[in-house]
Amino acid sequence: MASLAEIRAKLQAQDKKSSGSSQGGGDNAIFTHWNIPEGSSATLRFLPDADPDNTFFWKERQMIRLSFPGVKGGDENKPVTIQVPCVEMWGDTCPVHAEIRPWFKDPTMEDMGRKYWKKRSYIFQGFVTQSDLQEDSVPENPIRRFVISPQIYKIISSALMDPEFQEIPTDYEAGTDFVIKKSTKGQYADYSTSNWARRERSLDQTERDAIATHDLHNLNDFLPKKPDAEHLNAIFEMFEASVDGQLYDPERFGQYYRPYGIDAPATTGAKPVAAATTPPPTPAPAPAPAAPVVEQAPAPAPAAPAVDMTPEPEMATAAAATAPEGGQPSAQDILAQIRNRKQ
């Protein structure tokens, strides 16, 4: 288990790097904290990652959402969205982000760029020690998984930098519970009042027995599989098809990534790949939907984006040239720009 000092050092390194440069579904091991009633709370106790190489007690997941107006050969009028992994999660160059970064230099393409910008979430594990959520079924293993939004994650990680935090919160003897509090801000759910408990608490015998019986999860097991070159090529082709407004084609893409409920095509020689999306989460009973995640996409023009958004000179001029005067560029204009870049 990493020390609190090691976690702080790595968080500081990540902050420097970033300044210079959905939530899960049908598995009931995932505690759907977004479904707790408005004005209520849930108390969690995070546990360490079983991966000894992970400094943190969480894993960051980065996904890109590709939307299509329907499914070819199926319901062609029912929009579907597929989540595909962004390889920047593993420190590699993402072909989709390499393409859309220059878009933020052109105000007419900013909204399109944000649509395809990666969405972050954070995978934790631990116990639910108190909750106002009435669950239909509770798994036998009480070590649950938590898919945490950037809003709550910021509260978690920022507090760890406080020098008054004496012990790592996952410590079995002197750890600290985390309380998720749900309220409403405008028409959306808000979790900004969530925070660490004021007192340390040692794990009780029931919790210790559960760890001994079920073991801790390796959080890497809950990240998507890293795409190989073939899958990366499929992701970029799906991105182009999404930009063009094409229907999702199961025969073309189903062996790589597909919407929930769509079977893989019965073709020979195709690499079997699990569906990229999971069943949708149980609808929230609270009247306010969860607030949309404001991902750290590039800042609106004219401000320069925080990450490296500098396009090649010819791309910056091409983006401006393709936009109709006073209007948004068409899908054909954007695709032409993408293909020129590939050439």
First to last CA, the chain: 48
- DSSP assignment string, 126-194: EEEEEE----S---SS--EEEEE-HHHHHHHHHHHT-TT--S-TT-TTTEEEEEEE-EEETTEEE-TT-
> Tokens in use for 211?
């760890």
| Residues whose CB falls within 8 Å of the CB of residue 59, separated by 6 or more in sequence, listed in order | 49, 122, 123, 219, 220, 222, 223
Is 275 within a domain?
A: yes
* pLDDT tens track for 11-51: 766 665 444 333 434 468 999 999 999 999 999 999 999 99
Q: What is the pLDDT of residues 100-121, one digit of tens each?
A: 999 999 999 999 999 999 999 9
In a domain, 155, yes or no: yes
Amino acid letter, 259: P
Asked, for residue 301, whether it belongs to a domain, the answer is no
Please tell me the total count of domains within the chain: 1
Residue 279 CB contacts under 8 Å (≥ 6 apart), including other chains: 25, 26, 260
SS3 for 46? strand
For residue 252, give its domain range.
Answer: 4-289+311-342
> Which of 19-23, 54-58, 226-230 shows the lowest mean pLDDT across its residues?
19-23
Task: Please check whether residue 304 lies inside any domain of the structure.
Answer: no
d(CA 239, CA 328): 19
Q: Is the pTM of this model over 0.85?
A: no
Residue 241, domain CATH: 3.90.198.10
pLDDT tens-place string over residues 320-331: 444 455 566 666
Q: Domain for residue 295, yes or no?
A: no
| Assigned domain for 41 exists | yes
Task: Say which residues have a Cβ less than 8 Å from residue 190's Cβ, sequence separation at least 6.
Answer: 182, 183, 184, 291
Say if 250 falls within a structural domain: yes
Q: Is residue 24 part of a domain?
A: yes
CA atoms of 323 and 319, how far apart (whole Å): 7
